[in-house]
Chains A and B, each alone.
Chain A
């Protein structure tokens, strides 16, 4: 028996993917379904989130197809409403929110801080199931029940709509707790499970980003949970607090909704920024410029994000003074965001940049996020917002930040950690082609929407005036390019799994723990022995350079 086992071991390396591999389908499924390994849970989230992405993406293509001409092509106005609602709800609640924290975050966080697992592994598994159950209920209800309220569920329409708003609400309520518990788990993990010597200032910036994200998840998500619950109570009992005809106030719903839904855009973008810091340092082989600024700007963004929700209510009739306040606070978010962008650029300056596929996405992020961020400042301006409110300008703005920011960073992160996750390399050549198709397609899709929107094209209509035809057509052509590039990615990643070249431990020359102390793919317990950390996460400059720098500083201090 012993000999057989060791023979098998010699043939095939044992790693976190091995348990249950050759013991039949049921044992295999059981080892996955009951696992408490953060890496496996991350992979399962990854699969679930990708499915959501494909479903939500298909709806996006259907939207763009309908908008190819002002005439009715595929659906009636009501059906169109259901299609864009499904796109929004799936993409936001079931794809983008869990995308980076639950997949890459789960996989990478314990590796980054030198831990064996997250603080509460079983809670982590429970979060996954909450997401699957909640997401399942919401998706089925949405698609069968043709919910057509948009992803915002504004009243009174959400009450009068005869579609399955109720079940979607229940589903999202359940999925929300997955988000809360994941955030809670990560915060405790970062507080308590750092390896010896891993001080706060030695953590990779991804960890700071995940920490800030978790604060928002823990403190903002319960508000949307209770809001959804109140919406359900309103529908079932007629509580009245959101219904104007019953003495209530629908704008109160909007306040509650945005108290969550604005911070949550930072649940989407903060971890993306964390990935950016990893990509930028690794592929320029340089220490980050201004570590503390990048780290604390994450916290600053998390904090300010709670104070800006009112910018979604500029035209809801709230007091003009409140508008001015929220407009000002909205501008404030620009500062920490810009700090990050400047620090990344400063890191790249004079670095030896290697244009490997993950870095391409980091490059795209900088371009897209600059555009998305600056147009956001424009939207924060009261007079302009009133003109641009509910137009395609908004649609373009948030797609530049959410897709151009989060999704791009997510894809970049997958390209970056893929060799670590599965121990396989993918075709760098195909990755470059897919990237450039995406880059062109994305701009083609959304740049024209800025123009159409500022000329007055309202969002959420299945038809439009003749004069907007060209913008919509460009946009639709762009959506096909995006789809093409996603299909390419899917195929070369599958090819990599089937017969990709074996990945070395550190294919990119990274300096953080997952590259320097963990195999590809990792062992079940991550580290052979508990790592002891003696230096910062990005000490790329050689020892000599460091010494020279220290000497120079000493000399300066002496003179």
Chain B
């Protein structure tokens, strides 16, 4: 009615779709920096979300150091290392993908984002084999623990009866992280579609940049998880 500010439009190069800035923003920059602050706040929230798990880990590692040492020696650190490299590489391709969008190189953006997605897929596949292996061995949390390794044979390891607690933490920790990876893969897929449809371009790349930040966080969490669970 008496709306004196018409919607702001970010003009795109030929062949792309223009971006219409949200009606409640005055400028495209205001919209971008809002998304930016919002994403960082969301990441802060994620850090607090994971923090309780890290606290629980620290506490029980302190209580049962031998159990944790034994537990992590049973995990396959090679698979964990492969996954670490895969995720690190995916963070690189993600960053390159964003860079390509910012410079209007849509083909490169498509390739880099697809690589990122495939890295996520590899990560989850490796995780699947790790989980399947543990389920077959029965090295699971208490309610399902039926390992052939009789706990008595480890009477030299203090507090070994608490071994399932280690697996409980392992599954909860990696499970929650895995869900984050899956969500990230979904978001990257959405970005790939957007790149194909040419709705992202040098003047408007907000969603892909924000999803990049999220993906890096998921990566960083794993970089802490890997040594804590597999190596220590």
**Which residues of A are interface residues toward B (Cβ below 8 A)?**
14, 110, 115-121, 180, 184-185, 187-188, 191-193, 218-223, 225-227, 229-230, 233, 236-241, 246-249, 252, 256, 523-525, 528-530
Output the least CB separation between B9 and chain A (Å). 17
Q: What are 5 A-B contacts with C-beta separation under 8 Å? A: A120-B34, A180-B45, A191-B37, A222-B48, A246-B162
Residues facing A in B87-114 (CB within 8 A) are none
Within 8 Å CB of A240, what residues of B?
141-142, 162, 164-165, 168
Within 8 Å CB of A14, what residues of B?
1
Known: A238-B142, A247-B159. A120 touches B38 (CB 8 A): yes
B227 within 8 Å of A by Cβ?
no
Kindly state the separation between the CA atoms of A239 and B44 in the bound complex, as whole angstroms.
Answer: 26
How many residues of chain B are within 8 Å of chain A by beta carbon?
47
Kindly state the separation between the CA atoms of A185 and B45 in the bound complex, as whole angstroms.
Answer: 13
Apart from A188-B38, A222-B48, A252-B55, what 20 extra A-B contacts exist at CB < 8 Å?
Answer: A117-B24, A188-B34, A192-B30, A220-B48, A223-B48, A225-B49, A226-B50, A227-B52, A237-B144, A237-B172, A239-B141, A240-B141, A240-B168, A241-B56, A241-B60, A247-B60, A252-B59, A523-B1, A523-B2, A525-B23
From A184, A191, A523, contact of B45 by CB (8 A): A184
Using CB atoms, name the residue of chain B closest to A220. Answer: B48
Output the least CB separation between A417 and chain B (Å). 21
Output the least CB separation between A123 and chain B (Å). 8
Known: A223-B52, A530-B26. A247 touches B162 (CB 8 A): yes
Flag if B37 contacts A252 (CB, 8 Å). Answer: no
Flag if B24 contacts A116 (CB, 8 Å). Answer: yes
Output the least CB separation between B185 and chain A (Å). 20
Kindly state the separation between the CA atoms of A236 and B52 in the bound complex, as whole angstroms.
Answer: 19
Output the least CB separation between B93 and chain A (Å). 28
From A188, A191, A237, A248, contact of B171 by CB (8 A): A237
Kindly state the separation between the CA atoms of A247 and B50 in the bound complex, as whole angstroms.
Answer: 22
From A188, A249, A525, contact of B41 by CB (8 A): A188
Within 8 Å CB of B52, what residues of A?
223, 226-227, 230, 256
Output the least CB separation between B205 and chain A (Å). 18
Kindly state the separation between the CA atoms of A498 and B157 in the bound complex, as whole angstroms.
Answer: 75
Within 8 Å CB of B186, what residues of A?
none
Flag if A241 contacts B168 (CB, 8 Å). Answer: yes
B64 within 8 Å of A by Cβ?
yes
Flag if A115 contacts B142 (CB, 8 Å). Answer: no
Flag if A192 contacts B168 (CB, 8 Å). Answer: no
Flag if A223 contacts B168 (CB, 8 Å). Answer: no
Kindly state the separation between the CA atoms of A317 and B64 in the bound complex, as whole angstroms.
Answer: 21
Kindly state the separation between the CA atoms of A212 and B1 in the bound complex, as whole angstroms.
Answer: 35
Within 8 Å CB of A530, what residues of B?
4-5, 26
B161 within 8 Å of A by Cβ?
yes
Flag if A222 contacts B141 (CB, 8 Å). Answer: no
Using CB atoms, name the residue of chain A closest to B67. Answer: A247
Using CB atoms, name the residue of chain B closest to A187. Answer: B41
Kindly state the separation between the CA atoms of A19 and B5 in the bound complex, as whole angstroms.
Answer: 21
Known: A121-B24, A229-B176, A230-B52. A241 touches B169 (CB 8 A): yes
Flag if B49 contacts A222 (CB, 8 Å). Answer: yes
B53 within 8 Å of A by Cβ?
yes
Flag if A230 contacts B172 (CB, 8 Å). Answer: yes
Within 8 Å CB of A110, what residues of B?
24
From B3, B23, B38, B51, contact of A184 by CB (8 A): B38
Known: A226-B50, A249-B59, A530-B5. A241 touches B42 (CB 8 A): no
Using CB atoms, name the residue of chain B closest to A191. Answer: B37
Within 8 Å CB of A117, what residues of B?
23-24
B125 within 8 Å of A by Cβ?
no
Flag if B34 contacts A237 (CB, 8 Å). Answer: no
B17 within 8 Å of A by Cβ?
no
Flag if A193 contacts B165 (CB, 8 Å). Answer: no
Kindly state the separation between the CA atoms of A8 and B3 in the bound complex, as whole angstroms.
Answer: 20
Within 8 Å CB of B143, what residues of A?
236-238
B76 within 8 Å of A by Cβ?
no
Within 8 Å CB of A120, what residues of B?
34, 38
Within 8 Å CB of A193, what residues of B?
24-25, 30, 34
Flag if B171 contacts A529 (CB, 8 Å). Answer: no
Closest 3 CB pairs of A and B: A239-B168, A238-B142, A238-B143
From B25, B42, B56, B144, contact of A252 by CB (8 A): B56
Within 8 Å CB of A247, what residues of B?
60, 63-64, 159, 161-162, 165
Within 8 Å CB of A233, what residues of B?
141, 168, 172
Within 8 Å CB of B147, what residues of A?
none
Within 8 Å CB of A180, what residues of B?
45
Kindly state the separation between the CA atoms of A54 and B47 in the bound complex, as whole angstroms.
Answer: 36
Within 8 Å CB of B159, what residues of A?
247
Known: A121-B22, A185-B38. A525 touches B172 (CB 8 A): no
Q: Which residue of A184, A187, A237, A524 has the most chain B CB atoms within 10 A of its CB atom?
A: A237
Within 8 Å CB of B33, what residues of A?
192
Within 8 Å CB of B169, what residues of A?
239, 241
Using CB atoms, name the residue of chain B closest to A240. Answer: B165
Kindly state the separation between the CA atoms of A236 and B172 in the bound complex, as whole angstroms.
Answer: 12
Kindly state the separation between the CA atoms of A241 and B176 in the bound complex, as whole angstroms.
Answer: 16
